[in-house]
Copies of this chain bind each other. A is one copy, B any other.
Amino acid sequence: MVNFKTTERKKYTLVEFELNQLISPADLENLQPPEVKGTKGVILSGKAPIWLYGMLIHHYHPTAFIGVYEPRIGGGVVVASHNPAYKIGDVIPMEVK
């Protein structure tokens, strides 16, 4: 339903996802996002409904910071952070192939 792929980078884990079929809200309950190291941040990347992002942002809340990859900006936009080195609104320049 949702294929996840993780890539370790120095400061964060890139969590990419792909929907291989339509997803419905009821699918969220059984979704198992990949485990990550909470001491690093997480950057999310994928085409998906906002509510899937919402669930993932909530899920990864305990990590150092959470970013959302924005291709138009060419970076991950920090939306939540427990690490003073990363403020909400910071852009972490990055590429997603």
A contacts, CB < 8 Å to B: 25-29, 49-51, 53-55, 57-58, 61, 66-68, 70, 73, 77-80, 87-91
Residues of B within 8 Å of A25, CB to CB, are 70, 73, 77-78, 89-91
C-alpha gap A54/B73 in the complex (Å): 16
Knowing that A54-B68, A57-B79 are A-B contacts, what are 4 other residue pairs whose CB atoms are under 8 Å apart, sorted by A's residue number? A26-B89, A29-B88, A51-B68, A61-B61
Residues B26 and A51 in contact, CB atoms below 8 Å apart:
no
Tell me the number of copies of this protein.
2
Determine which of B55, B73, B77, B88 lies in contact with A79 in the assembled complex, contact meaning CB atoms within 8 Å.
Answer: B55
Question: Could you show 12 A-B contacts with beta carbons less than 8 Å apart?
Answer: A25-B77, A26-B89, A29-B88, A29-B89, A49-B70, A53-B53, A54-B54, A54-B68, A54-B80, A57-B57, A58-B66, A58-B80
A2 CB to closest chain B CB (Å) equals 13
C-alpha gap A79/B49 in the complex (Å): 11
